[in-house]
Chain A
Amino acid sequence: MMVPLNHYLIASAVLFVIGLVGVVSRRNALMILLAIELLFNAANLSFVAFARQWGDVHGQVFAFFVITVAAAEVTVGLAIAILLFRGLKSLDAHDASFMKW
């Protein structure tokens, strides 16, 4: 028996909300990056579930691109985190307020 689409969409929505709560509530920059990964994966799950629903492989192609963009984002994000840690001696997002006006 095939698992219906809405099961996947609900799992994806819950995963997205968990990731969002992580992004908003954690202060450590690395934790925020990890929570962003959860957001990417929730979106991917939706893409693949819809790809099966509509019998169209392009949803999976889009998920492939999302994975690529996530890899690029993590590379630059971690480099920025290292730079922040060198400059501020902390990874607290609240300490990095020099771009605030």
Chain B
Amino acid sequence: MGELVTFYLAAGAMILSALAVIWAKSPVYSLLSLLVTMCCLAVLFVLLGAVFLAALQLLIYAGAILVLFLFVFMLLKLDPATIARARQCAGRWPALLLGGWLLFQLGWILRAVLARGASAQAPVSGTIATVGGAIFHAALLPFELTSLLILAAIIGAVALAQRKHE
């Protein structure tokens, strides 16, 4: 029972803060709402038994990615006019229409999938030992390739940011 209540609280807060991300007036408010979304998602991960991923979610998303966004917001010195224009939406109604249509389709698929009666297996504990074991056995090659991806991203970011503007 407590698990269900926790789920509804976390999921409700997650969806409300996600709405705040896309409707907030200022980019900084959007960013802070995204922080709340990430924390709620970490709670959901803990409920799902993925404690390692929950920690990663907080460390990487809340700790690294959002701080990176915040740095860029400060670096760009967004003046009030820019922020006011950021509020403008390109096409609110087409976007909402598209979103509603996608939600309908996803609901349709979910209903079809869940009607087949998925039986729950024994829950798996996502501790560092189990996830790390899977990473270093079954997913060793993708894991090593990840370092290549990150290296490429670092070089790309540095090269892009250093380019002199004519």
Closest A residue by C-beta to B119: A53
Question: How many B residues touch A, CB cutoff 8 Å?
Answer: 88
Q: Is the CB of A48 within 8 A of B50?
A: yes
Q: How far is the CB of A22 from chain B (nearest CB, A)?
A: 4
Looking at chain A, what size class is its interface with the partner chain?
A: 35 or more
Q: Given the known inter-chain contacts A30-B69, A33-B69, A37-B65, please indicate yes or no for A13 contacting B34, CB distance below 8 A.
A: no
Q: Is the CB of A54 within 8 A of B121?
A: yes
Closest A residue by C-beta to B38: A41
Q: Is the CB of A8 within 8 A of B44?
A: yes
A97 within 8 A of B: no
List which B49-65 residues lie within 8 A (CB) of chain A: 49-50, 52-53, 56-57, 60-61, 64-65
Q: Is the CB of B22 within 8 A of A26?
A: yes
Q: Which residues of B contact A76 (CB under 8 A)?
A: 153, 156-157, 160
Please give the residue numbers on chain A whose beta carbons come within 8 Å of chain B beta carbons, in ascending order. Answer: 1-3, 5-11, 13-22, 24-28, 30-31, 33-35, 37-38, 41, 44-45, 48-49, 51-58, 60-61, 63-65, 67-76, 78-83, 85-87, 90-94
